Amino acid sequence: MVASSRAMGVVAGTRAAKVKNRAGQTAKWALITLFLAWTVIPVLIVVTNAFKWPLDIFTKTPKLIFEPTLENFVTAFGKSDFLRYFMNSTIVALTSTVFVLVLSVFAAWGLTSLRLRRANWISNAFLVGKLVPVISMLLPLFAIMRMAGLRGSLLAPAIAHVALQLPFMVWMLMGFMRDVPRELEQAALIDGCTRLQTLFRIVIPVILPGIAAAFILAMQYSWNELLFSLQLTTFETYTLPVGIASFVGAVSVNAGVACAAATVTMAPMVVLGFFIQKYLAAGTTGGAVKG
């Protein structure tokens, strides 16, 4: 099939086709370059601003050559509370990610592999959670956290992040688990595994790429989330986005410091994402890829 089509290609390779092909190639690389610029330039501007003195930031024409300085980082971390925000964010993101993964792996497995009569109904109810506007959750949650004595603790935003992520995580992991052949699990049962052991010995190892995707998504969500972190924390427990938000209002005053803070905040997730994005691609479709 492939060989025959190649032969056809050679036959069809007239001069007109070649010219057309070259134009197509040029257009393709032009689009790629354009998209590359669109993706990279905004990030580059912020990262370079982080190393600039204010005089070099506020120029009519973007300044490519400048005398770099670490002053902005020193200010952000030495003279303000960014180091504490960073620690808080790390704790909240790791805690919520671990919890959301454990809860959603169990729930997704229960909904796909155990034959429960109401499984469809329950998973749809879970997914409705994805539609609930966050604003309607905010104030009641605030009240609940205060009653539970958790407001102002790092656990409060962590719990909110777990719940906010659960509907999508369950749905996504269900997609992976559907693709695990039922025969594999049944063979393990016949070999003497208990039902729960099939989850740990068969299902989890098979869907590990999906769990990697869930991990990065949950992690970056919690790391980046603003609204709940803003409302459920107090000054002592502010996370990075809350700290960044305080800079956003005043563009001209602290531009360099804001950019330094933004650079440090986005670096871990961008680096993590760079290595895990290939799992993410397969992961987020929730099995829809397989048609």
Partner 1 sequence: MTAFTRTPIVRRKELLLGFCVIAPAAVVIAAVMFVPLIYAVYASMYEIRPGQPAAFVFLGNYARFFSDPVALRSLGNTLLYTVVNLCVCLAVGVAMAVILSNLRPRVGNALRAIFSMPLFISPIIVALIWRYMYDPQYGFIYWALGEAGLQEHFGGLNSSAWALFCVALADAWNTTPFILLVVSAGLTVVPPDLYEAAKIDGAGPVRIMFQITLPLLAKVLAVVTLIRGTDAFRVFDLVYGMTNGGPANSTSTLSLYAYKAAYQNNELGYGMAISVITLVALVVLFGPLMRGSARGKED
Judged by CB under 8 A, the chain residues 76 through 95 that form the site for partner 1 are none
Among positions 91, 94, 127, 204, the unique one binding partner 1 when judged by CB under 8 A: 127
Helix (H) / strand (E) containing 123? helix 119-128
Minimum distance from residue 120 beta carbon to partner 1 (Å) = 6
Nearer to partner 1, 57 or 92 (CB): 57
Nearer to partner 1, 111 or 237 (CB): 111
CA distance 231 to 142: 7
Helix (H) / strand (E) containing 134? helix 134-147
Nearer to partner 1, 166 or 237 (CB): 166
| Interacting span for partner 1 (CB under 8 A) from 68-76, 77-85, 112-120, 200-208 | 112-120
Nearer to partner 1, 237 or 243 (CB): 243
Among positions 1, 16, 64, 147, the unique one binding partner 1 when judged by CB under 8 A: 1
CA distance 198 to 213: 22
Task: Please tell me what DSSP assigns to residue 52.
Answer: S
Among positions 61, 64, 192, 235, the unique one binding partner 1 when judged by CB under 8 A: 61
| Interacting span for partner 1 (CB under 8 A) from 64-72, 73-81, 200-208, 275-283 | 275-283
The DSSP string of 58-111 is S-SSPPSS-----HHHHIIIIISSHHHHHHHHHHHHHHHHHHHHHHHHHHHHHH
Nearer to partner 1, 134 or 208 (CB): 134
Residues 150-189 that bind partner 1 (CB under 8 A): 159-160, 162-164, 166-168, 170-171, 174, 177-178, 182, 186
Q: Cα–chain-centroid distance for residue 70?
A: 29
CA distance 256 to 167: 38
Among positions 91, 94, 144, 150, the unique one binding partner 1 when judged by CB under 8 A: 144
Residue 10 touching partner 1 (CB under 8 A): no
Among positions 141, 207, 218, 257, the unique one binding partner 1 when judged by CB under 8 A: 141
Q: Cα dist. 30→23, 34, 37, 38 in Å?
A: 10, 6, 11, 12
Among positions 17, 40, 70, 74, the unique one binding partner 1 when judged by CB under 8 A: 40
